[in-house]
Structure 1
């Protein structure tokens, strides 16, 4: 007989169905579970906000230890089983900072028997009001003035591990973003992930870090007699092997006499020679390929005074192509003069520590670059790399949308006060979600006060009164001393593009979780299924007659 599922009904209209394979949660129970999961994820990184932020010690799957206060790096290492918590972490990975998302405040509305659809509708209206408020309090910035942009980037680096080298990190980030930015008929393209590669080299001092006007590769030449320094080189980029192409596994060769084997070797040499002659005819100085280079091809290149690099990663090859103006060719027969790159001013090989590095520098208008980071250990370099990525993201957002919002929780408190005022004007049941979202936006200033050890109730009340009395929407929390200060005087600003996107994502994720009213898990009883099964009992024993 098939085992029937057990159904348990409680007074709170929650239905829990359990059988041998699935675990299911419905109704209010599912929504409350999602709220708790979202709150748990936010609590993990709550203490990582602000200049007095605490560090988290993480143990990665390989046994390494990571010390960081970067929220994205922390959530990347967290393993969760709840589907709502997984969704929150995936959403958080797209953000640069934590924002109160309103999900935890939705529980109050649900307890008042407000339908989730009404809550979502009110959240949508609150989002429109929030975007208007951000537009009002934002300040335009002149991207052509480097000092103004560096101030904003410095406010981003100020809470990080690399704050002591903030001037250097900010200049590196801004220079890298300017290098890779392209303006195509008014359409800006800034791809820092593909074309601004960070090369972490242990050893030396952090002050030795720099942004190259070109590319660096962790490669050496294929032959010791090849030249290691060339000025104004002609560069050819290939995506094909410079060696004899072997036949497939079904290919069979039968030799009837000794000369046949010699002829096969001769054919291989002739093919390699033909390929090399086509390349040499274009008179290049450097040949770079993503595949291998045979010993015979190296011999011909050495005779022609050509330097060769082999087995270069595809991503590095694309960066070199963009920096030196060469075209990557998939077949040697298709090579032509226009494919040769001539924008590189200098190529040389340098040994750092125990490894060799190839430099392509002094490029004319390079649209790709390499950032060299030096430091005492790999752990320090990894943390500085994470901080630098945040700084480059801030610089990119400023170039795309040159508007700034006050930091230090000032924007969130302005939103909270405006939404609370708007809730009083709205009649009916929709005012409860407005109030809930207004309270949720106070998470940022409250957390900043908590992390610096300030008096939360007194400072939060003072900050709320300043915003409510229209004394200025730029008042926020000094995360170091725990005081209420004007962010205009302190110069703490954030890109409006990041703030708008964060609030949009936060409210959308809250609406997404509120729409869920059914959670079905097929792995919850896996542990029980692995246990040894008990022997089945006989259905019914015959009862003796009395």
Structure 2
């Protein structure tokens, strides 16, 4: 029997060895260069056009890279870094990309000198361990109960953002929102800002009109015009079931022989609705929220009982209301009990803002859920403020979990750089050079801060190195003037968690890309439009398949 012959089809794009490694380094550097100018308080804005014709103006690294379309697999991997950083700690999305790009660039000379990637990776991992120890050494604890210290910290996170003009107001909003949703359970602290701190953007008014509500706000109006629009200390019932005729689960057929049957059918429906409403009325609520619909007849019965109903509330909003007013969400009206009624709300009101009606459930006692109402001149500005506010809330949340602060303004990176340079002299063999390259790479953060405000990077970096060499680890760059300052006096500090996560993500990503020695694309040039390396082996089809006989 003849052995099968495997034909490698010429339609497969393939980059191997050095070519693949150089290609990855170039891709990483390109992505880093896109957002290098977005670091620091003097950062530039990027104007992005999305496929729908919308315009986004932002200097948030994650928001920019979300909109950028790339073909190269290494570039896609880099873009994924900022998303990971954003989900994990919510800040440092620009720094992580700049650092990862610099680590890759510093590794290139060693690859060209035929140093094996595994040796470089081993040195990088060693450098990461030592860097984390340095961050631990230079970090200082913070008292999360001290509002002035917390406001200073949050201010440093948004000092580089578009909304730093209103930093006092925004810091207070972020801190109030996070403090509201903190929940202690069994000695563990839960801070779920994604689920329980919602941002509502309403164009119009002044930015100074923005506030954190001690409760929840919905873009809803009452179902019937005659229902009450303002109730003090309301009793609230939350439902996850419709107040409409019950319909059959599957295809239901009813055969009607004469007019009496038809009248009886309508009568049964009305009886069902009345029974539902009677069950609700029995617990004497003032307000009913349901995630489903409310029929006209149900509105009639509720109105007669002086109950206000609001329908088609989103599940996420219903969960927030439940947490704010201490109510339970009821799935079946048969299970409705007195303890499911929420009584912690001080005021229910409906107000008209602009052209729309909004429902406010405020003055809740210890709400544990809140809505941040943002006002501003246009949607673009509100979207950017929301992105910056999310970063500020994440920073405050991180400090609640890990109350350590590291100096900002590139001071931490410079301290690590100086320490790693000293350590590299004690290492033997080839490893010391890639290890030292991490020390040099970390200077990219202070250097970029100086460049972005038009300073002389060589002169200022030399002064900063001299300060750190004498043990002054809190000295960094003033992002507004480009001069060196003591962060203890200047007051720019960043959460320990953000610094550690940034370094871990950047070094791990660089190690991952350095291990790649082969890039294979199974999509032929004709299909892919002739350019770029396609990162999709699963799309290999037709004549471009491996193993064709």
TM-score (norm 2): 0.91
Structure 1 unaligned residues grouped into runs of 5+: 6-17, 531-546
1:362-421 CA deviation, whole Å, 9 max, x = no partner? 101111000000111111111111111111111111111111111111111111111111
Partner residue in 1 for 2:338? 337
**Secondary structure in 2 aligned to 1:58?**
strand
Note the C-alpha offset of 1:26: 2.3
Partner residue in 1 for 2:421? 420
Partner residue in 2 for 1:515? 515
Partner residue in 2 for 1:31? 21
Using the alignment, how far apart are the partners of 1:105 and 1:327 within structure 2?
A: 57
**Secondary structure in 1 aligned to 2:312?**
coil
Residue pair 1:180, 1:369 contacting (<8 A) in 2 also: yes
Partner residue in 2 for 1:232? 233
Question: In 2 relative to 1, CA 170–23 (structure 1 residues): closer, same or farther, beyond 3 Å?
Answer: same
Using the alignment, how far apart are the partners of 2:310 and 2:464 within structure 1?
A: 61
1:7-54 CA deviation, whole Å, 9 max, x = no partner? xxxxxxxxxxx633x322222222222222111111111000111111
1:216-270 CA deviation, whole Å, 9 max, x = no partner? 0000000011111111111111111110122356322222211111111111111
Partner residue in 2 for 1:222? 223
1:300-348 CA deviation, whole Å, 9 max, x = no partner? 1001111111000111011001101111111111111111111111101
Question: In 2 relative to 1, CA 349–443 (structure 1 residues): closer, same or farther, beyond 3 Å?
Answer: same
Partner residue in 2 for 1:271? 272
Partner residue in 1 for 2:400? 399
Partner residue in 1 for 2:161? 160
Partner residue in 1 for 2:492? 492
1:437-469 CA deviation, whole Å, 9 max, x = no partner? 111111101111111111111111221122123
Using the alignment, how far apart are the partners of 2:478 and 2:528 within structure 1?
A: 52
Matched, 1:61 2:51: yes
Question: In 2 relative to 1, CA 367–263 (structure 1 residues): closer, same or farther, beyond 3 Å?
Answer: same
Query: Larger deviation: 173-182 or 413-422?
Result: 413-422
Note the C-alpha offset of 1:272: 1.0
Partner residue in 1 for 2:67? 77
Question: In 2 relative to 1, CA 529–196 (structure 1 residues): closer, same or farther, beyond 3 Å?
Answer: closer
Using the alignment, how far apart are the partners of 1:232 and 1:104 within structure 2?
A: 63
Query: Larger deviation: 290-299 or 87-96?
Result: 87-96
Matched, 1:19 2:19: no
Displacement over 6 Å in runs of 4+: none
Partner residue in 1 for 2:545? none
Note the C-alpha offset of 1:3: 11
Structure 2 unaligned residues grouped into runs of 5+: 86-90, 531-549
Note the C-alpha offset of 1:525: 2.1
Using the alignment, how far apart are the partners of 2:509 and 2:6 within structure 1?
A: 38
TM-score (norm 1): 0.92
Matched, 1:118 2:109: no
Residue pair 1:4, 1:19 contacting (<8 A) in 2 also: no
Using the alignment, how far apart are the partners of 2:315 and 2:526 within structure 1?
A: 42
Using the alignment, how far apart are the partners of 1:373 and 1:267 within structure 2?
A: 48
Using the alignment, how far apart are the partners of 2:519 and 2:236 within structure 1?
A: 58
Partner residue in 1 for 2:541? none
Equivalent in 82, 87, 93 of residue 83 of structure 2: 93
**Secondary structure in 1 aligned to 2:262?**
helix
Partner residue in 2 for 1:481? 481
Partner residue in 1 for 2:544? none
Partner residue in 1 for 2:290? 289
Matched, 1:45 2:46: no
Using the alignment, how far apart are the partners of 1:528 and 1:70 within structure 2?
A: 31
Note the C-alpha offset of 1:526: 4.3
Residue pair 1:459, 1:484 contacting (<8 A) in 2 also: yes
Using the alignment, how far apart are the partners of 1:394 and 1:3 within structure 2?
A: 55
Partner residue in 1 for 2:540? none
Using the alignment, how far apart are the partners of 1:394 and 1:117 within structure 2?
A: 35
**Secondary structure in 1 aligned to 2:361?**
strand
**Secondary structure in 2 aligned to 1:357?**
strand
Using the alignment, how far apart are the partners of 1:219 and 1:120 within structure 2?
A: 56
Using the alignment, how far apart are the partners of 1:134 and 1:529 within structure 2?
A: 47
Note the C-alpha offset of 1:111: 1.5
Larger Rg: 1
Using the alignment, how far apart are the partners of 1:37 and 1:515 within structure 2?
A: 15
Using the alignment, how far apart are the partners of 1:518 and 1:260 within structure 2?
A: 75
**Secondary structure in 2 aligned to 1:45?**
helix
**Secondary structure in 1 aligned to 2:105?**
coil
Aligned residue runs from structure 1 range 430-469, under 5 A: 430-469=431-470
Question: In 2 relative to 1, CA 486–528 (structure 1 residues): closer, same or farther, beyond 3 Å?
Answer: closer
Partner residue in 2 for 1:309? 310
Using the alignment, how far apart are the partners of 1:320 and 1:514 within structure 2?
A: 49
Query: Larger deviation: 166-175 or 477-486?
Result: 477-486
Question: In 2 relative to 1, CA 386–524 (structure 1 residues): closer, same or farther, beyond 3 Å?
Answer: farther
Partner residue in 2 for 1:189? 190
Partner residue in 1 for 2:211? 210
Partner residue in 1 for 2:140? 139
Using the alignment, how far apart are the partners of 2:502 and 2:187 within structure 1?
A: 26
Aligned residue runs from structure 1 range 321-336, under 5 A: 321-336=322-337
